[in-house]
Amino acid sequence: MSVAETAKSTVEQFTAASNTAFKDGVEKTLAAFNEANVHSKKNLEAVVASVTAAAKGAESVGAQAVAFSKKTFDDQVAGARSLASAKSVQEVVELQTSLARTFLESYIAEVGKLTESVSASVKDSIKPLNERVTDVVEKLQAKR
């Protein structure tokens, strides 16, 4: 084999190897971009689900607060009427004590309900994001 043929053969081998390496690199890069796009889409879907859950939770808590406010107002009006109809100072003191206890117990119960609602809303809001984090961590650990 002549030097020219050896050089030509070497160049052809180098060119073929370079083309294969370049093609493999481009395919790996495109696959990585596709995977990143899939992850981005899933992340966006998780954020949308989280925000939707948070909005529903806020709506629920708001509705509870409005209902409690209306009930409290009605109870206070009824309490004021009963105080106005009292026949003695002793009866006014007893009614006022009873009303204060009832309102305080009602308020404490409502705070408990609102706390449960807010807690459930936060859990529902965080769930989609937590699932995405778990998925990413599992994939990263699998590639180790």
Query: What pLDDT digit, counting tens, does each position of 55-99 carry?
Result: 999 999 999 999 999 999 999 999 999 989 989 999 999 999 999
Contacts for 93 with CB less than 8 Å, ≥ 6 apart = none
CA–CA dist 126, 118 (Å, integer) = 12
Neighbours of 50 (CB within 10 A): 19
Return the residue matching tokens 């629920």. Answer: 60
**Domain extent for 85:** 3-142
Report the chain's mean pLDDT, rounded to a whole number: 91
**Residue 100's pLDDT is what?**
94
Query: What pLDDT digit, counting tens, does each position of 37-62 carry?
Result: 888 899 999 999 999 999 999 999 99
Total domains, the chain = 1
pTM assigned to the model:
0.69
